[in-house]
Amino acid sequence: MKRPSLVSQGSLNRIFESVNEAWKRCDFQAAIEMMERASRLNPSNFGILLNLGRLHGLRYDYAAAERCFEQALRVAPKKSEVLVAAGQQSRDFNNLTMSERYLKRALEQKDVSPATLVKLAEVYERQRRTEEAASLADRALQSDAGCGPALLLRARLDRQAGRLDAAEKLLRAFPSSIEPTLRASAAYELGGILDRQGRYDEAMAAFLEAKARLNLLATPHAAELKIIRTRIQHLTANASAAVLQQWFTASDQLQPAHRMALLGGHPRSGTTLLEQVLDAHPDMVSAEETEIFYNDAYGPLMRGQPDDTAMYAALAAATPGALQQARQNYFRSMESSLGQPIAGRLLIDKNPSYTFLIPTLIRIFPEMKFLIALRDPRDVVLSCFMQNLPLNQVGAACISLASTTEEYTALMNVWQAIKARMPNLYLEVRYEDMVEDLESVARRTLGFLEVPWDACVLGFDQHAREKVVRSPTYADVTQPVYKRAVGRWHHYQKYLEPHLEKLEPFVKAFGYE
């Protein structure tokens, strides 16, 4: 029997608003407790339980997430809807095993939709179970020949298998009725295939079509990015050499010292390749583009501060106790995310976006080393433009070649300014050197990190096949090193021409003349 709600919808909406506000200020426990209260007040609302499970999953408490999903199944009148939602939300918090489990249960229901088949097929694809993924995609297309997600997945699987003509044929016939974001994804996929075939003008036309379909959707994220950049500029300007030295020498107040390094640089500069190489070493463990530092270390320091509080002011005012708590929060969540103890290994936090936050990292982790991936700036800008990035601040920054260039110069200007001031050890690693002589670069990097040489790092591609890689380049890093992306910008020089002057200082500074 359905249990009655003990609260009005208006009161629930106010609770949901409070949950969102708490989550934004990184007060995650408060958000979860408020959502639990909402569930107690409306116990038959399976939507609340699904959202509560998602919050637990985002905080790496997968057992609690599953309990909420199972409770949602018990109270929901339509099981298939909840199973699909639980599968999707499990994927959102990167638990593919749980996602597979719920989606397989959804496939046992009588009202299986093509969309559900595709969702499970996408999980299989990320797990490199390509035959199973293709079989489900084909089942979806048998049920609905115009199923856009299935067509896109089928084309992507064909491309990964080297069947470029078959993939292009599918994408050229993509239904015009499909919603814009999916059509944009198809255009990105087509652009990548045409680029592989040396049809560069056609490829650029496809990429420009994808951008045009996403342009309006990117506007709110671009506005948020503008605010963030202003705060970053203020932090960079105030993080003088004297300030960074003071923060660096405060390490004796922040114990124990940890073996750790940030792997940063600009996106598409070879960070994923270098991360997989390092992660293959038995004395290292890597975290791939998580938000743990921002959510669990930096975020709590800003809690209670007005929204317009300067980042520098909050960092300067942080007490040793608050910094120590931030460090503990970070490592607790990192181990939960990794699903294993770090156990004295060197932690590589791979996140190009954190290059903007290096002063913040030094404040909280003065013992941190910095690995910065470099690549020809022209190739970086082109690669970011060509990539089907999530539509967030970074994705919005890459909506045109002009805005992509602006994003590159903003981030690398921060690096150029900070590296001249900071006392922390850093090493710049060039992508082109990695693909030319991986062993030499690996030896130099391990030496910098004070980790003994182990030849297993040269088998990074095999290691990558045994784990889930979150990066958009997840398929590429399971292959041996290849050189086809070096100097790609030459094929698109006429499109990059208006932006080369802005990139020239970085071309010279990083030795790419």
Contact 382, 208 (CB under 8 A): no
Q: Is residue 97 part of a domain?
A: no
CA dist 170 → 158, 175, 192 (Å): 10, 10, 14
Flag the least confident range among 182-191, 227-236, 324-333: 227-236
Residue given tokens 């020949």 in the structure block: 145
Stronger pLDDT, 443 or 460, i.e. the higher one? 443
473 pLDDT band, cuts 50/70/90, is low
> What band does 362 get if pLDDT is binned at 50, 70 and 90?
very high
Of 400, 370, 371, 368, residue with least CA distance to 384? 400
Using the predicted structure, report yes or no on whether residue 59 has a pLDDT greater than 50. Answer: yes
Domain range enclosing 293: 238-509
Closest by CA position to 87, among listed 59, 106, 113:
106
Structural element, H or E, at residue 265:
strand 260-265
Rounded to an integer, the average pLDDT of 206-229 is 88
Rounded Cα distance between 150 and 314, Å, is 48
Task: Calculate the CA 360 to chain-centre distance.
Answer: 20
With beta carbons less than 8 A apart as the criterion, state whether 385 and 401 touch.
yes
CATH code: domain of residue 15? 1.25.40.10
Query: What backbone torsions phi and psi does residue 346 show, to the nearest 5 degrees?
Result: -80, 125
The answer on pLDDT for 47 being more than 70 is yes
- Look at residues 75, 90, 105 and tell me which one is the last residue of a structural domain: 90
Structural contact between residues 446 and 273, judged by C-beta atoms closer than 8 angstroms: no
| Alpha-carbon gap, residue 367 to 251, rounded angstroms | 7
In a domain, 232, yes or no: no
Residue 469: predicted pLDDT: 56
Domain edge (last residue) among 90, 118, 142: 90
Of 18-27, 336-345, 474-483, least confident by mean pLDDT is: 474-483
**pLDDT tops 60 at residue 470:** no
Mean pLDDT, the chain, as a whole number?
91
Q: Is residue 491 part of a domain?
A: yes
Q: For residue 418, what is the domain's CATH number?
A: 3.40.50.300
Q: What is the 3-state secondary structure (H, E, C) of 104-154?
A: HHHHCCCCCCHHHHHHHHHHHHHCCCHHHHHHHHHHHHHHCCCCHHHHHHH
CB count within 10 Å of CB 402 equals: 13
Strands 346-350 and 426-430: unpaired
For the CA atoms of 264, 265, 268, 273, the dihedral, rounded to the nearest 10 degrees, stands at -50
- In the chain, the number of structural domains is 2
Distance CA 396, CA 404 (A): 9
Residue 90 pLDDT: 97
The answer on pLDDT for 52 being more than 90 is yes
Mean pLDDT of 26-53: 94
Q: DSSP code of 484?
A: T
* Residue 110 burial (C-beta neighbours within 10 Å; 0-12, 13-18, 19+): exposed
Position 102 in a domain: no
User: Scanning the structure block, which residue is given the tokens 């124990």?
Assistant: 256
Question: Which carries the bigger pLDDT value, residue 345 or residue 469?
Answer: 345
Q: Do the bridges between strand 284-288 and strand 369-374 make them parallel or antiparallel, or are there none, so unpaired? A: unpaired
Residue 170 and residue 155 in contact, taking contact as beta carbons nearer than 8 Å: yes
Identify which of 221, 310, 219, 299 has the alpha carbon closest to the alpha carbon of residue 24. 299
| CA distances (Å), origin 286, targets 20, 281, 353 | 30, 10, 16
Task: Please provide the size of the chain in residues.
Answer: 513
pLDDT for residue 183 is more than 80: yes
- The pTM assigned to this predicted structure is 0.90
pLDDT band at 462 (very low <50, low <70, confident <90, very high): confident
Query: Quick check: 405 and 499 in contact, CB under 8 A?
Result: yes
Residue 177 lies in a domain: no
Of the three residues 61, 90, 119, the one that is the final residue of a domain is 90
| Coil vs helix vs strand at 372 | strand
Sheet of 369-374, strand order = 284-288, 346-350, 260-265, 369-374, 426-430
Residue 1 has pLDDT above 50, yes or no: no
What's the rounded Cα separation, in Å, for the pair 359 and 369? 12
Question: Is 11 contained in some domain?
Answer: yes
Q: Please tell me the predicted confidence (pLDDT) of residue 25.
A: 85
Tokens standing for residue 266? 């600009």
> Does residue 130 belong to any structural domain of this protein?
no
Determine the pLDDT at residue 309: 60
* Domain presence at residue 129: no
The whole-number average pLDDT for the span 20-36 is: 92
CA distances (Å), origin 443, targets 265, 427, 457, 508: 20, 13, 10, 26
Give 288-306 pLDDT, tens digit per residue. 999 999 999 998 888 766 6
